[in-house]
Amino acid sequence: MAGRLPEAGELLHAATDALRALPAGILRPVANLVASPPDVAAAASALQGHVGVIAASVRPAWGDFVRANWTNGKRNPSTLVCEATQAAYIALSVLVRLFKIQCRKLDLRVDPVQLYLSPSLAEALQICRSLPSTSQDDVDVLLKTLLDQGETGWQDAQRGAVRALLYEASPSFAEAAQEANASV
C-alpha cells in the first residue's frame, strides 16, 4: 500500500491529534495572562541591583499595557486584551473550522450538540467558561458567533466576540464595574 494517499477520515484524525495542544498550550496561557496579568511592581521590588532597576523602569509601561484605554470618554479594552484577542481568536477559529469539517464529513448539521466530535474545542470552550465574569451563556454566544459566517464582516464580529469575552474577564473591566457601582 506504499504511495497510497490518506483518506479524509485519516486526515481528520491526524488534524485532531495535531490540534489537541491548542487549548492547553495557547488558549489557557493567554486567558490566564488576561485574567491575572503579572504584577510588575511586586517583581521589581523583589529584584536586586541592575535587574531591579530595569524592572522598575518597565513598570509604568506595563501598567499602561494592562490598563483599560479611554476613547471619547468610553472605556475600551487594554492593549493586553487587544493583543491577546488575536491569539485566542486564531486558536478558537482553527478548532471551530476543524469541527465544521468533521460535521460535514459525517453529514451532520454543524451544531453545538455535536461538540463531542471535537474534544479540543470543548476543552477550549471550558477554558473560556472558567474566566472571571464569564457565564455559560457568554460562552454559548461566543460559540454561536464563531459558528456563524454571514455575508460580510463575519470575521470582525467573531474577533469582536472573543475580545469582549477577554475584556470582561480582565481586571480593568472589574475596575470599571466597581467605579460604575461607586458612582451610582
User: Can you tell me the distance from the alpha carbon of 133 to that of 154, in angstroms, rounded to the nearest whole number?
Assistant: 25
Please state the pTM of the whole predicted model: 0.82
Closest CA to 120 of 16, 7, 26, 33: 16
* Residue range of the domain that includes 112: 8-36+78-183
Q: Looking at residue 82, what is its pLDDT?
A: 95
Residue 113 lies in a domain: yes
**Residue 68 located in a structural domain:** no
Identify whether 136 is part of a domain: yes
Whether 58 is in a domain gets the answer no
- In the chain, % of residues over pLDDT 90: 53
The verdict on residue 117 lying in a domain is yes
Asked if the model's pLDDT at residue 182 lies above 70, the reply is no
pLDDT in tens, 83-132: 999 999 999 999 999 999 999 999 999 999 999 999 999 999 999 999 99
- Number of domains present in the structure of the chain: 1
Residue 169: name the closest of 28, 3, 8, 20 by CA: 28
In a domain, 71, yes or no: no
Identify whether 57 is part of a domain. no
Asked, for residue 172, whether it belongs to a domain, the answer is yes
